[in-house]
Amino acid sequence: MQCRKNMAQYLVFLYALIILLSQFIVEKAEITNIPCVSDESCPQVIKPLVIKCIDKFCEYFMEGEYEGP
């Protein structure tokens, strides 16, 4: 009986640890500011994303969302 109680406590600790650490992983997945000179100096992206050089930083947009010059 004691073994089952310890196992349950271990699983609760493991679940709490996964939930806590997943918050940091989500934060690291954010797109960073990439310096650029023109649209060509920005990295290539997969559609439906479009990348443009705005104020010397690469900005990501959904296709059809950007209404710039």
Alpha-carbon distance 66 to 51, whole Å? Answer: 9
Whether 13 and 36 map to the same domain: the answer is no
Whether 45 and 58 map to the same domain: the answer is yes
Whether 47 and 62 map to the same domain: the answer is yes
Whether 36 and 66 map to the same domain: the answer is yes
> pTM, whole model, 2 decimals?
0.47
Per-residue pLDDT reduced to its tens digit, 5-59: 788 888 899 999 988 887 776 555 456 688 999 988 888 877 777 888 888 988 8
Whether 24 and 44 map to the same domain: the answer is no
Alpha-carbon distance 69 to 62, whole Å? Answer: 16
Alpha-carbon distance 58 to 63, whole Å? Answer: 15
- Name the residue range of residue 39's domain: 32-69
pLDDT at 66: 64
Alpha-carbon distance 20 to 43, whole Å? Answer: 32
